Homo-oligomer: A and B are copies of this chain.
Amino acid sequence: MLRVGLIGYGYWGPNLVRNFAEASGAEVAAISDLQPDRLAKVKSRYPAIKTTTDYHDLVNDDSIDAIAIVTPVSTHFALARQALEAGKHVFVEKPLAESSAHAAWLVQQAKERQKVLMVDHTFVYTSAVQKIRELVAGNHLGKIYYYDSVRVNLGLFQHDVNVLWDLAVHDLAIIDYVFGGLAPTAVSATGMSHVPGQPENIAYLTLFFPENLIAHIHVNWLAPVKIRRTLVGGSKKMIVYDDLEPSEKVKVYDKGITVGNSLEKVYRMLIHYRAGDMWAPQLEMNEALQQEVAQFIQCIEHGRQPIADGEAGLRVVRILEAAAQSLARQGSLINLEARRMAA
């Protein structure tokens, strides 16, 4: 029985606790939070779980095997570092850390100490994203042209990171998983803050990949409606993934173009439009976080790596870091290939 300690019982923490509590093979041993009223809630729902306002109590508890960190981004590194150094397996809320140097350090530590380091890239564990990966991997879409995502709603403004670190991280994790490793050659990002002194609340990120694949991520904390819609365009088929649809979240369109030569006008290409059936595959109705927690437990048991391992978390943070640089220079291109070659 894996004994889990959780740091941070705010917005997302209760979901993790519920899933760890109901998972087979694990139990929540203790929870720490700075706010006593949150701990009181824990006590009323889960009388058996120990609570504390000092996270050191968890880190220093030898009976605890794994630490889940569900705190603001700026604290991820310090907490994960202490947990790893105390010999715990670590589950960290996304994004893994505030900088790629910190993320790389955690990856290295986990490797050396042979501990599981997992990032909460939730969407990667949804049946919708897994179906999209399966369709891409099986070459059902043909050559991939673009990934285009709109992820906007009103709230929850973060104070320590901008909207890219909060929302675009989901799309970067999806792209990393669906296309098998996130290696854009360059990025360009624009955005704006509308609250003085606060990070950007609206942002647009373009990623350039080899072979004319382009990705664009469109995030906004100040939108009047909630939209979670992603288009994936391929030469053979195209996908519309709408996460807010109660069912049919993934629709596969047999649509596209074919390019031919015009007989009469040799200098001009002819574009033919192709429209066929639409198909919405049946998706499993399970909670992503449940899958995620189950994988974390199994990876610890069997010494395996989760899908959303530290390396995935690091790849995502590297892009976010580059995006931040481009954002600060109003869209100037940040060349990642050059960096990789230099590294």
Contact = CB atoms under 8 A, between A and B. Distances in A.
A194 B246 contact: no
A208 B343 CA distance: 34
A148 B216 CA distance: 14
B239 A224 contact: yes
What band does the interface of chain A fall in when counting residues whose beta carbon is under 8 Å from B? 35 or more
A192 B212 contact: yes
A193 interface: yes
B198 A214 contact: no
8 contacts: A47-B47, A154-B275, A155-B271, A188-B330, A192-B208, A194-B233, A195-B257, A277-B282
Contacts of A195: 257, 259, 269, 271
Contacts of A326: 331
Interface stretch (A54-62, A166-174, A247-255): A247-255
A155 B155 CA distance: 35
A254 B261 CA distance: 41
Contacts of A135: none
Contacts of A159: 268-269
A81 interface: no
A263 interface: no
Given A154-B275, A192-B212, A275-B282, 6 more contacts: A145-B192, A145-B222, A202-B233, A208-B330, A224-B231, A330-B333
A338 B330 CA distance: 15
